[in-house]
Chain A
Amino acid sequence: MRRAVLIAIPYVWLLALFMVPFFIVLKISLSDTALAIPPYTPTLDFSAGWAGIKEFFSQLDLENFVWLTEDDLYWKAYLSSVKIALISTFLTLLVGYPIAYGMARAPEEWRPTLMMLVILPFWTSFLIRVYAWMGILSNEGYLNQLLLWTGIISTPLTILNTSTAVYIGIVYTYLPFMILPIYSSLERMDGSLIEAAEDLGCSRAQAFWLVTVPLSKPGIIAGCFLVMIPVIGEFVIPSLLGGSGTLMIGKVLWEEFFSNRDWPVASAVAIVLLLILVVPIVLFQRNQQKQAEADG
C-alpha cells in the first residue's frame, strides 16, 4: 500500500505536468487561430456530450503544419538551427578536446581542482555567462579595444549580433558538457598503451591518433550529443548575441508566441522541433546503452 503511494505521487505528477501538457500542445497545433481568449478554436466542450467531442475532432486539421512548409521562415530556421548546432558542436570539440587531454595528463593531485574549475562555470547562471560576452564583442567592446590598441586592426570589427558571436557564445557556455565526458574516458585510459605504441615504432603524434583518440571515442560521442541536442532548441544565445540574420528555431517559437500571439503556429513549431530532436535523442540513448553494456 505504502509502495503504491510512493510510486503514484511522482508518477501522477509527471503525467499531469509533462504528458498532459504535451498532448495539449499537440491538440492546439491542430487547431485554428482565433481572436479570442484562449486564442484558438475549437475548445473541447464536454458538456455537449458525444456530439461535442465529434465536433472537436472534425475541426482539427494540419493547416498549421502546411503553413510551416509554405512560409520560408520556418524551414530556413530549422535548417539553420541544425547547421549552427552541427558547426558549433564541432568547434566545441576542437576547443574542448585539448583541454580534456591536458587535464587527463595533469598530475593526479591537480585533477580535482581542474575538475572543479571546469564545473564551476556550469553552476554559474547561463544568462550571465552569455551576457559577459556582450561587453567583450560589441563594437566598442574589450576585444575591439584590445585589437585597436595593439594595432592589429584599424577599424572596429562587427562581431556582436552576427553568427560569429552566436558560435562563440555556444562554444563558451557548452564547453563543460564536452570536456567532462571526454576527460572521464581519457582518465580511465591505460598509459602503458601509449608506451607500447611508441615502443612498437609509433611517433607521438601517431600514437595519439591511433591509440588515444579511438579510446576516447565514447567520450567524444557523448560530449557531441550533449552539446548538439540542447543547442538545436537554444533561445538565449541567439537572442542576445545573434542579430536578425541568425535564425534559430527556439527564437522563432518564442516570437511566434510572445510577439505574434499565434499559439497554434507556435505549437506546430514545437511539435516539428520535437520530431527533429527525436533522431539524435534516440541515437544518444542507444549509444549510452551500448556503452553501459560494454562497461558492465
Chain B
Amino acid sequence: MCDSNKNIYLPYLATVEEVIDETPDVRTLRLVFQDEQVRDNFSFRAGQFAEYSAFGAGESTFCIASSPTRKGYIECCFRAVGRVTESLRQLEVGDTMGIRGPYGNSFPIEQFYGKNLIFITGGIALPPLRTLIWNCLDMRDKFGDITIVYGARTEADLVYKRELKEWEERSDVQLVKTVDPGGNSPEWDGKVGFVPTVLDELAPSSDNCIALLCGPPVMIKFTLPVLEKLGFSDEAIYTTLENRMKCGLGKCGRCNVGNVYVCKDGPVFTAKQVKAMPLEY
C-alpha cells in the first residue's frame, strides 16, 4: 500500500452496493471497489480504518466495519452529523464514492487464539468491534467462549439489529444486550442498565480471557474499574481510539495523543498503552 510513486491522497473508487439504515441517523454502506484488481487485492485486518469520501463534501474517517473474512466488499457504518457524513448518507445504491486505506494497526487476532473473548461496547461503537466479532466467528474453532455485551441508550439506538438476533440465536456466542433505564419498550427482552453495571452482574471470568472494549468515553471510564475488579490485566484489555483525523498517513498532525499518532500507532491500543498516554483523546 506504500507504492512510492503514487499520489497517496488519491482514493480508490467504489460503488454503493447496499444501504442499510441501522437507526434513524446511523447508516451502513456496503461498498464494492470498481477496479477489479483493487477488488481482488484489497486486504485489511480487523481494527484498521479508512478515509471515505463523498466527492464535493470531503473525507471522513471510520473503521472498516466488515470482517476481513468476508471478501468482495467492505462496509462502513456512520452517524450523519456533519457535512461529509450527511453527503455520504445521501448516496444511493449504484452511486460512486471514494476510499483510501486501509490504515493504522489492527487487533492482534493471532494472539487471541485459544482464549475466551468478551466484547464490551455501546451505541455506535459496535462497528469497530463488529469487524473483529465476525472475524472470530468465521474462525470459530480458534477461540474459546465468545461473549458480547452491547448497550445503547434506547432500543432504537442499537445498531446491527439483524446481527444481534443472529448472535442471540447462535449457540456458540453469548449476547447480553442492554439499554439504559427508560430506553426500553414493554416488549424489550434484554437487560435494562448501563453497560458497566450489566458487566459487573455478568461477572465474566478473566481467566484466559481477552476483553475488547469500545464505547463512548464515559462507558470506557466506568467499565475499566469493573474489568480490573474482575481480574483483567491492562494487557488483556484492548480498545480503539477515535481521534479526529484527516490524512490517516501520519502527516497532517491532528490525531496525536501526546507523541502517539493514533493513525499510525493505533487505532488499536491495550488499556496499558492508553493509561500511559496523556489525557488527550
A binds B: no
